[in-house]
Amino acid sequence: MDSLAGRTAFITGGARGIGLAIAHSLAARGVSVAVADLDDPALERAEDALSAVTRARAYKLDVRDRQRYADVADAVEAELGPVSIVVNNAGILDSVSPARMDHSLWDYVMGVNANGVYNGVQAFVPRMIERGQGGHIVNTASAAGLFVDAGSLLYRSGFLYHASKFAVVGLSESLRVELARHGIGVSVLCPGPVATDGVDNARGLRPADAPERSATIDTILDAAQAMVRDQGVQPSVVGELVVDAIVRDRPYILTAADNAAPIRARMEALLDAVPAG
């Protein structure tokens, strides 16, 4: 995209943390922004702050709710104009030990992290294709969608979380190929630690009927929240990286330099498994 000014963006998980930072970075470039989230007070604060910079609207949305998603998409385009930038950012960090695996938690984690991304694609991409004016999709996965590091509590985040984030990476890579002929770019955001309260927020949103966490999963979540608090990059940094990726049509957006070693190790293991000749 040569110019972002005058476009409209839709961002889930947009009332706080990474999503709100992306919204601010886009707003600063003249993009009208619609943010969606579940937190009413945070949505109100986000709309007030963004409206001081650009045209902005906030919508309450559970990204698992397909009918509500379609209704919100209609409302956004009626109020702010055709959406050509979609940031599927809503997600939760949760998992369960294999000894306690349960369909309800699988459905919940995959419903938010994987289906929620697909629902955003379904809501907006056909409209973008029909208009023929291009656009860009950003899907938030995680560095945990690129590798599993048995030596790191943060990157050994539980099989449910890893499965959901690997799914987002695969969806994004394949969509990028298929949407290129329509002038629609796709980037996948794979952040390492970012200084947000997302882990604690996810704990508060956990379904009441979900199985009790094991001590291991609780330890992982405690370590994750401590790491993002003490070592995480600022959300504003991620917001600028995302805008750069949209402008330059970059396929991957990573935020942590120390991800290079485990990514390289995974690639080397894959290459070593390729049969000779």
pLDDT in tens, 164-214: 999 999 999 999 999 999 999 999 999 998 988 766 676 667 666 666 666
Q: What is the pTM of this model?
A: 0.92
pLDDT score of 32 more than 70: yes
Residue 64: per-residue pLDDT: 96
Give whole-number Cα distances, 88 to 12, 20, 33, 267, in Å.
Answer: 5, 12, 13, 27
Q: Are 194 and 233 in contact (CB under 8 A)?
A: yes
Catalytic entry in 59, 108, 155, 161: 161
- Reported as a single tens digit per residue, the pLDDT across 224-260 is 777 777 778 999 999 999 999 999 999 999 999 999 9
**How many Å from the N-terminal Cα to the C-terminal Cα in the chain?**
42
Q: Enter the DSSP assignment of 16.
A: S
Nearest Cα neighbor of 37 from 218, 263, 201, 148 is: 201
- Reported as a single tens digit per residue, the pLDDT across 117-166 is 999 999 999 999 999 999 999 999 999 999 998 776 556 668 889 999 99
Architecture category of domain 8-272 in CATH = 3-Layer(aba) Sandwich (3.40)
Residue 180: per-residue pLDDT: 98
| Domain ranges within the chain, ordered by starting residue | 8-272
Residue 219: per-residue pLDDT: 76
Q: Which of 73-77, 95-99, 207-211, 246-250 has the lowest mean pLDDT?
A: 207-211
Token pair, residue 202, equals 């996810």
Q: 180: Cβ–Cβ under 8 A, 6 or more apart, which residues?
A: none
Residue 211: per-residue pLDDT: 63
Nearest Cα neighbor of 252 from 192, 186, 178, 182 is: 186
Residue 101: per-residue pLDDT: 83
69 in catalytic set: no
R_g over Cα of the chain: 18
Q: Between 208 and 94, where is the model more confident?
A: 94
